A = this chain, B = another copy of it.
């Protein structure tokens, strides 16, 4: 994830302190929002980052921008984890575990996602999940080859379904047990 570290060619490089502060703010924001909810004041984030309020707004002009940046940060890490999972765990069960992981991450940071929706920023979980498509593709292929998933299931069917569960899990605050149960039902079906 070196996007922020990249130096724009032809232009002046981003100053070292600016890059450092940006990272600090993101880190602080994630911690503060996770602890006090996404309605926590921006001052708190600034304080925790050891930075003035104006600096936060220089890097993230609006609060939704800050929230969005935190989420994207989260997703980047999630992609890494998914890739690791793909590399280390070869069997078909990896797909199920991956879905559980996605729901779990969403649940941990549910307030951030909620606030995003409230402020009208359209980052649907489904849209966000699209970034995971390559990983899901690999996992799904492998699961299908392993014969643990129906032949006709496609990635662009699985992703919306997973997104639907995630969205509702976040909105309705499903606990770990029910998230697990929902995935069991989805994979095994409702019929006898």
The residue that A190 contacts in the complex, of B122, B124, B149, B171, with Cβ under 8 A, is: B149
Cα distance A147–B192 when bound, in Å?
Answer: 7
The residue that A185 contacts in the complex, of B38, B118, B157, B169, with Cβ under 8 A, is: B157
A34 at the interface (CB under 8 A from B): no
Shortest Cβ distance from A146 into chain B, in angstroms? 10
Output the nearest chain B residue to A158 by Cβ-Cβ distance. Answer: B190
Assess whether A185 is in contact with B168, with CB atoms less than 8 Å apart.
Answer: no
Output the nearest chain B residue to A190 by Cβ-Cβ distance. Answer: B187
Assess whether A161 is in contact with B185, with CB atoms less than 8 Å apart.
Answer: yes
Cα distance A158–B117 when bound, in Å?
Answer: 24
The number of residues on chain A lying at the interface, defined by a beta carbon within 8 Å of a beta carbon of chain B, is 41
Assess whether A171 is in contact with B167, with CB atoms less than 8 Å apart.
Answer: yes
Assess whether A114 is in contact with B120, with CB atoms less than 8 Å apart.
Answer: no
Which residues 159-192 of A have a CB within 8 angstroms of B? Answer: 160-161, 163-165, 167-169, 171-172, 174, 178, 181-182, 185-192
Q: Known pairs A149-B190, A157-B182; list 13 more (Cβ under 8 Å).
A: A117-B120, A118-B120, A120-B120, A160-B172, A160-B182, A161-B186, A164-B167, A164-B169, A164-B182, A167-B171, A185-B186, A185-B189, A187-B190
Q: Which residues of A are at the interface with B, using a C-beta cutoff of 8 A? A: 37-39, 114, 117-120, 122, 124, 126, 147-151, 153, 157-158, 160-161, 163-165, 167-169, 171-172, 174, 178, 181-182, 185-192
